[in-house]
Structure 1
Amino acid sequence: MSTINQRHLKEFLQNLPEQIPSIELFSTPWMGKQGDKVNIRLEVTGGSIAADIPLMIEFFNQEGDFSIDPIPVNSSDLTASFTLPEKFDQGSYVLQVTYNKVILASKTFDIVDEESARQMAEFEEGLGIEDQVSQAIKKGNYDEAIKLQEKAVEHFLNANNPELAARSWEDLVENLYKNNKPELSKDALEKALGIYSGIEGLENKEEFITRINEKIEICNNTIIQPEPLKNNIKLLREKKEHSQEQLAALVGKTPDIIKVWEEGQGFEEIKQFFELAQALNCQIDDLIQINYDVSNKLKIRSKIRNLIENNTTLTQSQLAFLVGETPDIIKKWEEGQELQELIPYFQLAQELDCKLSDLIELVDDTVKPKLPEPLLEVTNFDKSSTKG
């Protein structure tokens, strides 16, 4: 782009403001090979150009022995296009916009070999995708922005410009960090660091690497590193120094079941007992008592009948309705039958030295593991409270 000849420009500018407009000349591509189409676009700031002003595009080499016939600019959108002649040699050319032979703006344009043209096309494709990255970030689509950024960087690398690829990741960090995304910022910086580190002969390479590492440290200091969220089942198992396999053997379940419990699943089979405890205004621990006889055989004693008699005026039918069962099932529970589903959970509480209500709770109609408050300290819990 060249500086406009301000004196001649006044002759064809309409509605001339106090500040004379300026014209910028853009070409796509900005370099090319013989046979490529070149698209021209003019941008006018600070005023406008009358529609009847005949602007022309000229293209020639520095020596003046290769040139095309002047191309008229479309007055409606200030664009033009032409094809690079096959007969033109590779080298540096002048691309300019004129009015009555007065040069209004100009720039250099190189005709290059096929490989250079390919690299240039990759470069421009990468720049176009970077614009999409910016739009994705503005919309808060950070995952999409990262995917697009990876495509842009791939184009820059294909353009044999690894420094630009690294710089592109580094430039992205500012937008990510401003939007409170230190984790994504750190990932982008590490990718930039990987590219910088692999560039042979890069000037000031150590300076670049030091700068990136300093930024990574800032991200590390910004990222809140929370403790892994552990529910009480996992927390207390680890305090007892039991593996999932060991705990599974103690409660008569498989390690996969222990894993499922710790992931907050697999409790639907005892949901009705939590609902029963709610209806009876008690804890699930109050429903039954498990004991072992002298031969270590498990015995279950139901306390449900006493709870019904002492804690509520509800009938068996009403209780059955509340927990989604039949009155016959309520009667069996009172008699200590059909309670086998509860046994592994009570054994689990025993082995972890706590109450079952410390491990599992009913929240929003879902049975789930209880979370620490902030960390449940029950290491010295008296087993007699559950074994009777």
Structure 2
Amino acid sequence: MSQTLNNLEDLAADIKRWGIELGFGQIGITDTDLSAAEERHRQWIEKGFHGAMDYMAKHGDKRTRPHELVPGTVRIISARMDYMPPHARDSDEVMSNSELAYISRYALGRDYHKVLRNRLQKLSEKIAERVGEFGYRVFTDSAPVLEVELAQKAGLGWRGKHTLLLSRTAGSWFFLGEIYTDLPLPIDAPLGGHCGKCTACIDICPTQAIVAPYEVDARRCISYLTIELKESIPEPLRPLIGNRVYGCDDCQLTCPWNRFAKMTQQADFHVRNGLDNVSLIELFAWDEATFQEKMAGSAIYRIGHTQWLRNIAVGLGNAASSPAVINALEQRRHDPSALVREHVAWALNQHATYGLKNA
């Protein structure tokens, strides 16, 4: 397949237009050169900041060398899609009420992996209609891909000090996805950073996981602790988690650039099952069948019922003491899971040690 320069420029413009039509907020194109990020990534792994996420290291340099991950790749089409759901209860109100469960805004609707992968596949099919058969592979947080680095190179934004991608026109409340392709498309210019002297994200992090500008120790990050970590949550960090039972948005909530964030236009990301305004006690009462029914099609489904209960037990341990909270914990004192029992015992001890909070 041969394409002239003018044809490739027209194709790139069409890809961006098709992407918007498919619900993406922006499309950018970049090459495969991640040499500038490779040493930083290697040092991050050597420091152990990836914690138990072994997959971050096991693929070697394929994460920073797209052409090795998918041979023949010469360009990456990077896409972002807004996910902030409309009509969700105010995040600060939820986090300030210890009876409620705080769930990261990205997980209030359907699983983004499926939504973005489906749209990226449709975009790839649109390209194939134009150029014929071509080499490509679609990714959405599902393989050794440095999504933020690629999106930055593709001109979608810059890496903030919290390590998330920031856009001057869309903040950071969006998902990223990629199409690795063998089409030699014209590339977009990367953007410079616009964080300046601001340290709001660093200052607000409940566990001080942002150990330096642009560097996160995942082992302290609440998103890692509640989602990626499958074992016991370290005791010193449990009180700092508060009522965050799945993920953490503090660094995004405080970021000045998010005043430009846009509500999602995708119904898939709207709130499901009232998860924006639900009590810890109600969620803790779910049996496994209820969890599977309610969380089917949600990103939360992947952590499983046991880990879900572990997280909520920590939230209940940090809640204001009341007979209802104590009773909810007592109901699972003898849970079949040793992991759940451990965290329930810790939570009950929190109330026994400090007495009735707010009494």
TM-score for both structures, normalised by structure 2? 0.26
Q: Which has the higher contact order (CA 8 A, sep 6+)?
A: 2
Higher gyration radius (CA): 1
